[in-house]
Amino acid sequence: MKAHTKETQATMTPQKSLNYLKEGNQRFQNNLKANRNLLEQVNDTSDGQFPFATVLSCIDSRVSAELVFDQGLGDIFSVRIAGNFVNEDILGSMEFASKLAGTKLIVVLGHTSCGAIKGACDDAKLGNLTNMLAKITPAVNAVNEPTDKSLRNSKNIEFVDNVSKKNVILTLDKIRAQSPILKEMEDNNEINIVGGMYDINTGEVTFYE
Protein backbone atom coordinates (compact mmCIF):
# COMPACT_ATOMS: atom_id res chain seq x y z
CA MET A 1 0.00 0.00 0.00
CA LYS A 2 1.42 3.35 -1.08
CA ALA A 3 1.48 6.56 0.92
CA HIS A 4 -1.23 9.05 0.10
CA THR A 5 -0.46 11.68 -2.53
CA LYS A 6 -2.15 14.96 -3.31
CA GLU A 7 -4.11 13.16 -6.01
CA THR A 8 -5.30 10.29 -3.80
CA GLN A 9 -6.13 12.68 -0.95
CA ALA A 10 -8.32 14.65 -3.35
CA THR A 11 -10.39 11.52 -4.04
CA MET A 12 -11.18 11.05 -0.34
CA THR A 13 -14.56 12.12 0.99
CA PRO A 14 -15.53 12.32 4.67
CA GLN A 15 -17.48 9.04 4.42
CA LYS A 16 -14.76 7.29 2.43
CA SER A 17 -12.22 8.39 5.04
CA LEU A 18 -14.36 6.94 7.82
CA ASN A 19 -14.74 3.70 5.88
CA TYR A 20 -10.94 3.50 5.53
CA LEU A 21 -10.59 3.67 9.31
CA LYS A 22 -13.33 1.10 9.85
CA GLU A 23 -11.69 -1.27 7.39
CA GLY A 24 -8.32 -0.71 9.03
CA ASN A 25 -9.72 -1.48 12.48
CA GLN A 26 -11.26 -4.67 11.11
CA ARG A 27 -7.85 -5.72 9.77
CA PHE A 28 -6.32 -4.92 13.17
CA GLN A 29 -8.87 -7.10 14.97
CA ASN A 30 -8.19 -9.95 12.54
CA ASN A 31 -4.40 -9.47 12.74
CA LEU A 32 -4.30 -8.86 8.99
CA LYS A 33 -2.11 -5.85 8.27
CA ALA A 34 -2.21 -4.11 4.91
CA ASN A 35 0.90 -4.77 2.83
CA ARG A 36 2.98 -1.62 3.04
CA ASN A 37 6.68 -0.81 2.92
CA LEU A 38 7.25 1.78 5.64
CA LEU A 39 10.72 2.70 4.43
CA GLU A 40 9.28 3.27 0.98
CA GLN A 41 6.62 5.48 2.57
CA VAL A 42 9.38 7.45 4.29
CA ASN A 43 10.77 8.25 0.86
CA ASP A 44 7.33 8.86 -0.67
CA THR A 45 6.40 11.40 2.02
CA SER A 46 9.75 13.19 2.21
CA ASP A 47 8.51 16.03 -0.01
CA GLY A 48 5.06 16.40 1.57
CA GLN A 49 2.23 14.77 3.46
CA PHE A 50 -1.39 14.27 2.41
CA PRO A 51 -3.25 12.56 5.27
CA PHE A 52 -6.99 11.93 5.05
CA ALA A 53 -7.97 11.97 8.74
CA THR A 54 -7.15 13.57 12.08
CA VAL A 55 -7.50 11.42 15.20
CA LEU A 56 -7.57 12.82 18.74
CA SER A 57 -6.86 10.00 21.17
CA CYS A 58 -5.54 9.35 24.66
CA ILE A 59 -1.83 8.93 25.44
CA ASP A 60 -2.60 5.39 26.67
CA SER A 61 0.13 3.07 25.38
CA ARG A 62 -2.48 0.57 24.19
CA VAL A 63 -4.31 3.02 21.95
CA SER A 64 -2.04 4.05 19.09
CA ALA A 65 -4.32 5.34 16.32
CA GLU A 66 -1.91 4.26 13.58
CA LEU A 67 -1.93 0.70 14.89
CA VAL A 68 -5.60 0.23 15.80
CA PHE A 69 -6.65 1.63 12.40
CA ASP A 70 -3.80 -0.09 10.51
CA GLN A 71 -2.52 3.08 8.86
CA GLY A 72 0.93 3.92 7.54
CA LEU A 73 3.18 6.95 7.33
CA GLY A 74 1.45 10.04 6.00
CA ASP A 75 -2.08 8.64 6.40
CA ILE A 76 -3.39 10.36 9.55
CA PHE A 77 -2.62 13.26 11.86
CA SER A 78 -2.45 11.89 15.39
CA VAL A 79 -3.16 14.17 18.36
CA ARG A 80 -2.69 12.57 21.77
CA ILE A 81 -3.42 13.83 25.27
CA ALA A 82 -4.53 12.04 28.42
CA GLY A 83 -8.33 11.98 28.41
CA ASN A 84 -8.60 12.97 24.72
CA PHE A 85 -10.09 16.42 25.40
CA VAL A 86 -9.55 19.60 23.37
CA ASN A 87 -8.04 22.95 24.24
CA GLU A 88 -7.12 25.98 22.15
CA ASP A 89 -3.86 24.47 20.93
CA ILE A 90 -5.44 21.18 19.91
CA LEU A 91 -8.26 23.01 18.12
CA GLY A 92 -5.64 25.02 16.26
CA SER A 93 -3.90 21.80 15.25
CA MET A 94 -7.19 20.38 13.99
CA GLU A 95 -7.90 23.55 12.01
CA PHE A 96 -4.48 23.29 10.39
CA ALA A 97 -5.05 19.62 9.60
CA SER A 98 -8.46 20.17 8.01
CA LYS A 99 -8.35 23.65 6.49
CA LEU A 100 -4.75 23.76 5.34
CA ALA A 101 -3.57 20.15 5.07
CA GLY A 102 -6.78 18.71 3.62
CA THR A 103 -7.93 15.98 6.01
CA LYS A 104 -11.57 15.02 5.53
CA LEU A 105 -12.35 13.50 8.91
CA ILE A 106 -11.87 14.32 12.59
CA VAL A 107 -12.21 11.47 15.07
CA VAL A 108 -12.33 11.87 18.84
CA LEU A 109 -11.31 8.45 20.12
CA GLY A 110 -11.90 7.48 23.74
CA HIS A 111 -11.20 4.07 25.21
CA THR A 112 -12.44 1.74 27.91
CA SER A 113 -10.79 1.65 31.35
CA CYS A 114 -9.15 5.03 30.72
CA GLY A 115 -6.74 6.05 33.48
CA ALA A 116 -7.39 9.76 33.01
CA ILE A 117 -11.13 9.18 33.25
CA LYS A 118 -10.60 7.10 36.38
CA GLY A 119 -8.58 9.95 37.89
CA ALA A 120 -11.36 12.41 37.14
CA CYS A 121 -13.95 10.06 38.62
CA ASP A 122 -11.89 9.90 41.83
CA ASP A 123 -11.20 13.67 41.77
CA ALA A 124 -7.47 12.91 41.98
CA LYS A 125 -5.07 15.68 42.97
CA LEU A 126 -1.43 15.66 41.85
CA GLY A 127 0.56 18.60 40.54
CA ASN A 128 -0.37 19.66 37.03
CA LEU A 129 -2.55 16.57 36.74
CA THR A 130 -5.12 18.32 38.94
CA ASN A 131 -5.92 21.02 36.39
CA MET A 132 -5.82 18.55 33.51
CA LEU A 133 -8.35 16.20 35.13
CA ALA A 134 -10.61 19.16 35.90
CA LYS A 135 -11.25 19.40 32.15
CA ILE A 136 -12.86 15.94 32.30
CA THR A 137 -14.99 16.71 35.37
CA PRO A 138 -17.94 18.00 33.26
CA ALA A 139 -18.23 14.52 31.76
CA VAL A 140 -18.24 12.94 35.22
CA ASN A 141 -20.99 15.31 36.35
CA ALA A 142 -23.02 14.70 33.18
CA VAL A 143 -23.38 10.98 33.87
CA ASN A 144 -26.41 10.73 36.15
CA GLU A 145 -26.26 7.08 37.16
CA PRO A 146 -25.48 5.73 39.65
CA THR A 147 -26.66 8.34 42.14
CA ASP A 148 -24.96 6.53 45.03
CA LYS A 149 -21.70 8.44 45.55
CA SER A 150 -19.97 5.28 46.75
CA LEU A 151 -20.39 3.85 43.23
CA ARG A 152 -19.23 6.94 41.33
CA ASN A 153 -15.50 6.13 41.31
CA SER A 154 -12.80 4.28 39.39
CA LYS A 155 -13.71 0.92 40.94
CA ASN A 156 -17.00 0.98 39.01
CA ILE A 157 -15.78 0.23 35.48
CA GLU A 158 -19.25 0.59 33.99
CA PHE A 159 -19.41 4.13 35.38
CA VAL A 160 -15.88 4.86 34.15
CA ASP A 161 -16.73 3.72 30.62
CA ASN A 162 -19.97 5.72 30.60
CA VAL A 163 -17.97 8.80 31.58
CA SER A 164 -15.49 8.02 28.79
CA LYS A 165 -18.31 7.97 26.25
CA LYS A 166 -19.81 11.19 27.65
CA ASN A 167 -16.37 12.81 27.51
CA VAL A 168 -16.14 11.98 23.79
CA ILE A 169 -19.60 13.46 23.15
CA LEU A 170 -18.82 16.64 25.10
CA THR A 171 -15.51 16.97 23.25
CA LEU A 172 -17.32 16.77 19.91
CA ASP A 173 -19.70 19.50 21.10
CA LYS A 174 -16.75 21.62 22.20
CA ILE A 175 -15.03 21.30 18.83
CA ARG A 176 -18.13 22.57 17.06
CA ALA A 177 -18.76 25.33 19.59
CA GLN A 178 -15.21 26.66 19.84
CA SER A 179 -14.02 26.29 16.25
CA PRO A 180 -16.17 28.18 13.75
CA ILE A 181 -13.76 27.03 11.05
CA LEU A 182 -14.36 23.33 11.69
CA LYS A 183 -18.08 23.84 12.26
CA GLU A 184 -18.42 25.60 8.91
CA MET A 185 -16.44 22.87 7.15
CA GLU A 186 -18.70 20.23 8.67
CA ASP A 187 -21.84 22.17 7.72
CA ASN A 188 -20.51 22.38 4.15
CA ASN A 189 -19.87 18.61 4.11
CA GLU A 190 -16.15 19.20 3.64
CA ILE A 191 -15.36 17.17 6.75
CA ASN A 192 -17.05 14.85 9.21
CA ILE A 193 -16.52 15.12 12.97
CA VAL A 194 -17.24 11.82 14.72
CA GLY A 195 -16.56 10.08 18.00
CA GLY A 196 -15.49 6.56 18.76
CA MET A 197 -14.62 4.22 21.61
CA TYR A 198 -11.78 1.71 21.56
CA ASP A 199 -12.29 -1.46 23.59
CA ILE A 200 -8.97 -2.43 25.18
CA ASN A 201 -10.24 -6.02 25.59
CA THR A 202 -11.13 -6.70 21.95
CA GLY A 203 -9.35 -4.08 19.84
CA GLU A 204 -12.67 -2.98 18.36
CA VAL A 205 -13.57 0.66 17.72
CA THR A 206 -17.25 1.56 17.97
CA PHE A 207 -18.06 4.80 16.17
CA TYR A 208 -20.67 7.37 17.23
CA GLU A 209 -21.85 8.88 13.96
Binding-site residues for Zn(2+): 58, 60, 111, 114
- Sequence-ordered alpha helix ranges (H) in the chain: 6-10, 14-29, 38-44, 65-68, 88-95, 115-121, 129-134, 137-142, 157-178, 180-187
The β-bridge partners of 76 are 53
φ, ψ (nearest 5 deg) of residue 207: -95, 145
The β-bridge partners of 196 are 109, 207
Nearest in space to 163 (alpha carbons), one of 154, 172, 175:
154
Amino acid at 12: M
Q: Evaluate the omega torsion of the peptide bond into residue 146 and state whether it is cis, within 30 degrees of 0.
A: yes
